[in-house]
Amino acid sequence: MSIGVGWSIGANDAANSLGTAVGSRVITLRQGIVLIVVFGFLGAWLQGSYVTHTIGKGIVPLDKLGQPLAMYVALVSCFAAAAWVVLATYWKMPISTSHSIVGAVAGAGVAVGAPVKWKVLGDIFICWIFTPVGAAILGYIFFRLLRNALPRIVPRRFYRFVIGSLIILSGCYVAYSWGANDVANSIGVISGSGIMSSRDAVMLGGLAIVLGIVTWGYKVIETIGSEITHLLPIMAFAVQLASGINVHLYSVFGIPVSTSHSIVGAIFGVGLVKGLRVVNLRIMREIIFCWIATPFVSGFISFICLWGLKHWMKF
């Protein structure tokens, strides 16, 4: 089931890295997927352990539940998170895999009477609110600065090349930050329950994410890249720079946040520079609704499944 979560993360969240680059026609869909695979895996491998500890032990102390119960919690949490993310991916909605796994772990913990760390959940929830807001503010500021500064600094004959290069580099940075933060969503509970070592679990999660990117990642890329607002190349660079910095800061502190929230918030902030008329408010409303529903839906699925399993197997 951990591989299933990793696959669903790759399928849904791949768009957060280079979806804007694809939407602004700087690179092709195939090129974007290759870059996401490489840099997303590097982020998971080099810095994925920070958030893994929070998911595995910071919400429900799986290492203190005993091996059989911890394994049940890990299994059901992975199933609930993956089920909701796959459904949202089918709808082409960029939801948060972080919210999904956190809600699922909490729901499973309540179902078995485990000591859920509500203060940690409260801190994570506050960061969830600030993630899109912070990204929107950064995106707004970066775009206002860049659209005036870059044309003056870069000679006209080199402008397209420089902007294209900056978009690709910033997109790779977002992919790295995403891998560092989101790999924990697939393997955090596996590592926390003691089934695998942290390093082996990160490798497994990274490979599962890569599989999701390659097989189904294109669906949400279409929504991120072109359906929220039409992105000019300089707008895509501002969006990716804002989102990458935003997510990387949370990753360093071990906080599982949503790259989906970050990239959509940044797109909204950049769009506001030109006015609300360029933002597809209908798509934004649908995305926000799915954001709010995510932890509750995955938590409910996890609670019901583990509650039923508990009474059936009498553990």
Kindly report the pTM of this predicted structure.
Answer: 0.73
Question: Residues 278-315: pLDDT tens digits?
Answer: 566 676 777 778 778 888 999 999 999 988 887 777 65
Looking at every residue in the chain, the average pLDDT score rounds to: 77
Q: Write the pLDDT tens digit of every residue in 110-144.
A: 888 878 888 878 888 888 889 999 999 999 999 99
CA dist 238 and 165 (Å) reads 13
What's the maximum distance between 2 C-alpha atoms anywhere in the chain? Answer: 72
- What DSSP state is assigned to residue 60? S
Count CB neighbours of 210 within 10 A: 23
Give the integer Cα–Cα distance in Å for 80 and 38.
28
The tokens describing 34, both together, are 């290759």
**What span, in angstroms and rounded, lies between the C-alpha atoms of 187 and 194?**
11
How do residues 245-266 score in pLDDT, each as one tens digit?
A: 999 998 888 887 877 788 888 8
Q: What does the alpha-carbon distance between residue 105 and residue 1 come to, in Å, rounded to a whole number?
A: 14
Tell me, what's the pLDDT at 229?
A: 54
Helix/strand/coil for 253: coil
N-terminal to C-terminal alpha carbon distance within the chain: 21
